[in-house]
Amino acid sequence: MFIVIGGGIAGLLTARSLRDRDKTIVIDRRRVAGKECTGIISRTTFKFLGIGKEYIEGEFKRIELVHEGRSIFIKTDIVKVDRAKLERDLASELWITRPVDAIPKGDAVVAGNEVYRGAIIKAWGWKGNAKWMKGIEFSTEPINLDRIVVYFDVRNVGGFSWIVPTPNRTLVGAISYDDPLKFIPPVHRRRLEVHGGAIPRVYPKMKVEPEIGDATGLIKTFTGGGIYGIGKLLFPLVKWMSEGESADYIKIRKALHKEVTRQYRLTRLLEVGWPIALNAFRLLKDREFQAIEEFDSHSKLLRLLLPL
């Protein structure tokens, strides 16, 4: 039996991939599935998730980075995942017990008054130390815009704000160590919904455990969050659990650990010299860069824009 602790996107995708191999249960502390998030990932990462195109809410070939009226353009190939719909659909197909806290004890998990025994997979949120940011995002009526726009502000050290237009709505949000509401871009459309929460910036530790998602600490510093790591680790983890072969999982986790660690260090360096870093907009005004692989590997993108 497989016991997946955590019913977010990581846990649900893992459980779906394992259910045909053995009895699989998801234990989740949330009452319902369907977490909203911006969910911008590369098309490559989307393919790794093994889900259908019906979960693509928007597709983009261009990102505009803006600071004090100056723009830098990124040519890329990215998609916005409808995470809430994906989670709801996956949850409808799986055996899930909720809302209940799960306590691992050896090869058993205590969940309420029940005890489950089997192979345990941790797919919960990050539980270690982190630099925590606050995020908020509004869903508004659609606007006519053909690209994602990301804004940087000298007052919002290490943070940013965004406009993500999709056919059915527009997502307008910000993350900050301070109050993200201060940095929400003005979009003059009726607001339909609001969501948000805390976002960890993590210096990950390399471990060899059956983990996936934010539980690993492999959370990208900027776009995509933990979905990038989920896409890379999903099928190696399934192979490990179902066939006992952990080599692929360990290899990919080490590579992800190296990249996310590099991103964290570069981001901390940028935060220390934030006004200086934003001078790149003066030097690179109206320049366009191509970032396909670099969108997933932010350290390469940062070195492209800000030679360090």
Mapped onto helix, strand or coil, the DSSP state of residue 30 is coil
Asked if the model's pLDDT at residue 16 lies above 60, the reply is yes
Q: Are 80 and 164 in contact (CB under 8 A)?
A: yes
pLDDT at 306: 64
Q: What is the pLDDT of residues 75-86, one digit of tens each?
A: 999 999 999 999
Q: Which H/E stretch holds residue 91?
A: helix 83-93
Residue 17 lies in a domain: no
- Residue 93 is predicted with a pLDDT of 93
* Confidence check: pLDDT of 292 > 90: no
**How many domains are contained in the chain?**
1
In-domain check, residue 92: no
255 Cβ contact partners less than 8 Å away, ≥ 6 residues apart: none
Q: Determine the Cα–Cα distance for residues 23 and 175; give it in Å rounded to an integer.
A: 39
Q: Examine residue 28 and state whether it is found in any structural domain, yes or no.
A: no
Q: What is the pLDDT of residue 308?
A: 47
280 inside domain: yes
pLDDT tens profile 183-215: 999 999 999 999 999 999 999 889 999 999 999
Q: In this structure, is residue 261 part of a structural domain? A: yes
Q: Check the CA dihedral 270-289-63-45 and report its sign.
A: negative
Question: What pTM was computed for the model?
Answer: 0.93
Q: Is the pLDDT of residue 224 over 70?
A: no
Alpha helices per DSSP H over the chain: 9-18, 43-49, 83-93, 227-243, 247-272, 274-277, 280-283, 293-296, 298-305
Q: What is the pLDDT of residues 29-46, one digit of tens each?
A: 999 999 888 889 999 999
- Chain mean position to CA 201: 11
Q: What average pLDDT does range 283-296 have in this prediction?
A: 88
Question: Taking a C-beta distance cutoff of 8 angstroms, is the pair 196, 171 a contact?
Answer: no
Residue 178 domain flag: yes
Is residue 21 a part of any domain in this protein? Answer: no
In whole angstroms, give the CA distance from residue 239 to residue 247.
10
pLDDT single digits (tens) 248-275: 999 999 999 999 999 999 899 999 999 9
Q: Which two tokens stand for residue 83?
A: 């995470």
Residue 31 belongs to a domain: no
pLDDT tens-digit map of 105-123 = 888 999 989 999 999 999 9
CATH (domain of 62): 3.50.50.60
Question: What domain range includes position 41?
Answer: 37-82+125-305
In the prediction, which pLDDT does 277 show?
92
pLDDT tops 80 at residue 15: yes
Instruction: Tell which phi-psi region holds residue 144, choosing left (phi > 0), alpha (psi between -120 and 50) or beta.
Output: beta
